[in-house]
Structure formats: C-alpha cells, structure tokens
Structure 1
Amino acid sequence: MRLLTIITLSLIFSNLSSAQMSLGILSEPTISFAKVGALPRAESDSIRNLKAGSKSISLGIEIRKQIDRYQSITFIPGYLQTNMMLVKEDMQFLDVVHPKLPEIRDFAQAAPKVAYITHRQKYAGTQIIYAKKLDVRGMDRKAKIEIGGGIGAYALLQSDVKIRTEGFAIKDKFTHVFTDSTGLDARPYLIQIILVADLNYELSPKTHLIAGIKVSSPLTSTSTSEPKITIFSPALRIGLRFEI
C-alpha cells in the first residue's frame, strides 16, 4: 500500500507542470452486495438473514490529467465505505441480537421486534482510472460521454458493526456501535478492478458537471475468516470538475 501511494503521488506531481489539468470533488452513493463463500451448514445460521443491499456514501478528490483531446488519466484519493447488513425479524423475549449485547428483556408484543445489523468497512485509498471520450454524433456540444477503467487500492481505517433495533430497546437504546468483536474479521486492505461510464456537461468553460456509474469487482475478499465474504459495491458518480 505504501508503494502504491508513493507511485501515485509521483505520477501526480510529475504531471502538475504538464498541459491541461483539472481538480474535482466526487461523491459516490454506493450500494453494497455481499457474496458469501462456501461454509459448513452449522455456520450458515449467522448469515442466513443477509439483506440484498446496503447503502453508503464514498467521497474523493479528483486529480485529472488530459493526455490529449480524447484520453485522460485520473487519480482519486478518497474515502470508501462498504457494508454488509443482516436483518433479524420476529425476535422474541430472551433472543440474542449480537454477542456484544444482552438478551432481549422486552415483554411487549404491540410491535414486531426487528434488528438491523450492519457490518461497516471504512477505507482510505486511491482510484487510478484511464478514460476515453466517445465521439457521439448529434449530442449537445457541451455534453461528452466517457468510458474508462482502472484499479482501486485501499487500506482499512476501521471495521465496526452498527446495530439498530425497531420495536424494542436494549439498555434503553435503539442504536449500538461496536468496533471490537464485531463478528467479521475484515481484511486490512482492498483491491478493486473498476469500470466507469460518465456524462460530462460543461457548465462554463472551466467547470464541468460529472454524472455517471461505477462498477467495481474486488480482487480480494472482505473478510479473512470463514466464511469468506466478498462485497461488491456498484455506485453512482456525481461531482464537479474545475480546469486549472
């Protein structure tokens, strides 16, 4: 990870004196889908309530070098979050939501008891993306479509679990967050292959609106313990780019 950081910074600073450069801010509303590897039947109960998708927001600073009229290389240092959510429904008196919490002591039957258990992985790292503009006839001259691909490499900042309950409280609270003994041993790094497609719209000669999608495929599993869990995190891309 240190080597990648050094290489990224070297490439960025070596290009600062070159031709057209731009800086931008980028937000990536993300939805995470977890894939669980093979595991013994006895261990499957803990993840049988896996929810289809869980939302989060990732942020980055875009540093872009225009190679020529059509091609560009972009470095995006920033923050990435992926999630895995489990939902436990129809919980009863003395059921256990999570090993870090005591049993349910609520006798009330007025509302269904539901627990949302979200394992969150928070990373800092860099995306490096090569992109090319498409020459599409008939489009507004201010609008350009770009497609590209690259790699993302991240170091784990924190892995935690957020537990939210509905219909009952534990220790008089409806939300609990733990950073230790979460039940998921997160890998200390994440490497992704990335594909992007963007619509760039010129708001002014030096300001562009970015709107697009990102599809990423992890080369590493999210967890290091069994069962192996891999999280896929497609995202929207929304931002502003400023030529300098």
Structure 2
Amino acid sequence: MRLVPWHDPLPPGIALHRLDLDLAAEDGDAWSDLTPDERARANRFARRADCVRFAHTRAAVRRLIAQRLACRPAEVPLRADAHGKPFVEAGSDNAVPLFNISHAGDHALIALADPARVCCVGVDIEACARDLMADADALLAMAFTAREQREIRSDADLPRAFYRRWVGKEAVLKAAGVGMAEHLQSIGIHPDAHGALAVDCAVPAWAGIEAMALSAPPGYAAALAWHTKEQPL
C-alpha cells in the first residue's frame, strides 16, 4: 500500500492524499490501527478485496488525522452521521479536521479540510466502465438534469462526459452531506476545458459549494467539492 500526498494545486485549507491499494495483500499493519468494531465490519465483507480496501483506507484516514490530533490512530473518535458519512467527533478541540473519503478499484482518495477555512468537503473517485453506457437512455434520465443530458449526448466521448459529471455530482452531494439517490437531479455539473466544474444547484442551502476535476489514474475519474468559509474583514 502506498499513501501519496497530492501535489496539484488545491483550494486553500484542503489537503488530499491518494492511497494506492494492493487488493491481494494481507491486512498487515492496518489491522492494529482499527477499532474492534471496524475489524468486525471488515470481516463481514464477503469479498477479500472489499475487506482490504476498507481496512487500509480506514487505517490511512486514522493515521492522517491522528498526526493532527497528536493521538494514536485507533483513538481518533470517528463517528457516522444519519447518511453514513464519517466525521471526527469534535469535543472541545476546534482544530479537528473535516474529512471525506472515496475508494474504487485499486485507489482511494482522502480529503482533509481545515474547519477554520472550509465548511464542508467531499471527494469521489470512480473506475470508468466503458460498457456502462449500454443502457444510456435510462441511466442519463435517472441521474442527470436535462442540460447535463444534452451536454453528455453532444460529446464525442460519451463515457468520459458521463463520468466527469458523475464524480462531480457525487463529490458535491457528499460535501452537502446528503444521500445520492434522492438528490441526483438537484445538482448539475458542467465541466469546462480547464478542469473546473461549474455547479448548478437547485437547493439554496447548498449554494456556494464549488467543485473541480482531479487528475485521476488511467481508467478512473475523480472530483473534489468544498464550501469555503467567508473570512472576516
């Protein structure tokens, strides 16, 4: 397993790491950094790859946050909200970072954000299946707004156009802290030629969430979303 800091430019207050996974490996040192509940959860996965992916991603998150909180990884107080989004229980420490994770295939992304500068953060990575578009009409109608559908259909590379918007949409909804299925049509993602993702939001409470495409490994697409806090004058 290899944890790689992100070197491309990112918004102020956000750090990003990519975890490259060996899904055939043993749990190794990841196991010692998990809580008993997390070990039990890992053991419930039917597929070995899913167990390894969960264990090593969660252990990497704990190590990164433990460095900031000056504690042992297993002592980081991770909790999950009503939508299953993990967070660090703040207690009395205002320096507790915001974070979000996503994993797919052989890679995971871990975003950490300074709560003094960022209200929320979301990240997504997806392995791009070229045969996903076999039933394109139903898929586009379910997941995308009318404008997004027009833009995707007019693109010469339909799968690429699909995934650029899909990862942006998921990152934004993860930043907003809501479930995906019921809000897919509430967000429109419109990429430009330079990697920026314009966000068209139908929910006033989510106004201000921004997004950008990330440089993903070959065969993957990824995006980051965040809401910058207004700084006092």
Using structure 1 for the length normalisation, give the TM-score: 0.25
Say which structure, 1 or 2, has more relative contact order (CA 8 Å, 6+ apart): 1
Q: Which has the higher helix share?
A: 2
Query: Which structure is larger by alpha-carbon Rg, 1 or 2?
Result: 1
TM-score calculated relative to the size of structure 2: 0.26
